[in-house]
């Protein structure tokens, strides 16, 4: 997974550094070992606190976990996480009106219609179910307008093969051409954490269930759902303190709209770790009540 690769690279870098120092004989052998140990103590905890996360791979490019940040983030409850590799995973935006439906389906109904391995709620919407912000499907705008203050944009399925297959755009620093979009799928929402490490929401925000989309430094997409009410600001701070593999993040709709659903058939095999069997209910949407969702984002193998 993303954080595991970070740890591996960091360790190899330390060993390589020690080897170079030894070859050049600038320091005594004992001094070199001491320096390596000190670097391991100082650097590795800051790079790899998410190392304790235990992942269950359900299909190529899709793994899940249940993460309890613990004492390092006392204000943040346990969170469901889905790790998606865009090289193996295709993303699709769905809006009920664009698909000819008279009313929004619940997330379980969306999954029956689409068959996606993963579904999660998109951004906010009005009382008439119109999406608040940019929304693109297959390169076409779905009638919504750019929100002037929300700067997060999840984009996927580029028209240029040289671009990343999915990522987060920070509209405060990057452009998105609505007339000629470089990505066929897009959904706008609040920017939560940017590349500079700045938390982009107010510290005085309200507590609610939250759905977060994050991009890691290795290009994976993480989707989080909190299992308790929490402020967005506290999640942003927790990513900085306990999950530094998160490069940037944006917040989708929260409250009763916060949803993640994994196709139940993906669990129909022996789990790698027996204790992970209890996760199925959490990810299958069988816990809690569900409201109609006018817009969802789906992910399935390429």
Residue boundaries of the structural domains of the chain: 2-47, 56-301
| Nearest-angstrom CA–CA distance, 248 and 129 | 28
| Nearest-angstrom CA–CA distance, 261 and 298 | 10
Per-residue pLDDT of the chain (302 residues; tens, 9 = 90+): 433 333 333 333 333 334 433 334 443 443 433 343 333 333 333 334 444 789 999 999 999 999 999 999 999 999 999 999 999 999 999 999 999 999 999 999 999 999 999 999 998 998 889 899 999 999 999 977 899 889 999 999 999 999 999 999 999 999 999 999 999 999 999 999 999 999 999 998 899 999 999 999 999 999 999 999 999 999 999 999 999 999 999 999 999 999 999 999 999 877 878 888 889 989 986 666 689 999 999 999 99
| Nearest-angstrom CA–CA distance, 21 and 275 | 45
Q: Which of 235, 232, 226, 236 is nearest to 260 (CA)?
A: 226
Per-position DSSP letters for 9-78, written without gaps between them: HHHHHHHHHHHHHHHHT-S-HHHHHHHHHHHHHHHHHHH-GGGG---EEEETTEEEEEE--GGGSTT---
| Nearest-angstrom CA–CA distance, 118 and 81 | 12
Q: How many angstroms separate the first and last alpha carbons of the chain?
A: 19
CB 6 within 8 A of CB 45: no
Q: How far is CA 299 from the centre of its chain?
A: 12
| Nearest-angstrom CA–CA distance, 267 and 273 | 12
Q: Which of 183, 192, 186 is nearest to 145 (CA)?
A: 186
How many C-beta atoms lie closer than 10 Å to residue 114's C-beta?
17
Q: Quick one: pLDDT at residue 34?
A: 35
Q: Quick one: pLDDT at residue 159?
A: 94
């Amino acid at each position: 997974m993303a954080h595991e690769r970070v740890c591996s690279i960091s360790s190899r870098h330390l060993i390589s550094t020690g080897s170079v120092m030894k070859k050049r004989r600038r320091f005594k052998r004992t001094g070199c070992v001491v320096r390596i140990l000190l670097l391991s103590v100082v650097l590795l905890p800051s790079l790899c606190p998410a190392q304790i996360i235990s992942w269950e791979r359900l299909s190529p490019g899709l793994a899940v976990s249940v993460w309890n940040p613990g004492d390092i983030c006392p204000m943040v409850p346990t969170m469901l996480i889905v790790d998606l590799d865009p090289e193996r995973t295709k993303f699709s935006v769905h809006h009920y009106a664009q698909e000819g439906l008279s009313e929004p389906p619940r997330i379980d109904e969306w999954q029956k219609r689409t068959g996606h391995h993963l579904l999660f709620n998109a951004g906010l919407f009005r009382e008439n179910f119109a999406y608040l912000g940019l929304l693109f499907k297959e390169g076409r705008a779905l009638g919504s307008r750019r929100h002037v203050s929300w700067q997060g944009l999840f984009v996927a399925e580029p028209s240029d093969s040289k671009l990343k297959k999915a990522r987060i755009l920070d509209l405060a620093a990057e452009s998105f051409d609505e007339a000629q979009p470089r990505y066929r799928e897009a959904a706008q929402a609040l920017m939560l954490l940017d590349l500079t490490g700045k938390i982009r929401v107010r510290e005085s925000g309200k507590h609610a269930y939250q759905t977060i989309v994050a991009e890691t430094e290795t290009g994976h997409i993480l989707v989080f759902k909190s299992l308790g009410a929490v402020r967005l600001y506290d999640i942003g701070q927790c990513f900085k303190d306990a999950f530094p593999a998160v490069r940037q993040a944006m917040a989708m709709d929260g409250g009763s709209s916060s949803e993640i659903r994994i196709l139940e058939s993906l669990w129909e095999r022996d789990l790698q770790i027996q204790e992970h069997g209890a996760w199925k209910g959490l990810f299958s949407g069988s816990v809690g009540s569900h409201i109609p969702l006018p817009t969802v984002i789906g992910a399935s193998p390429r």
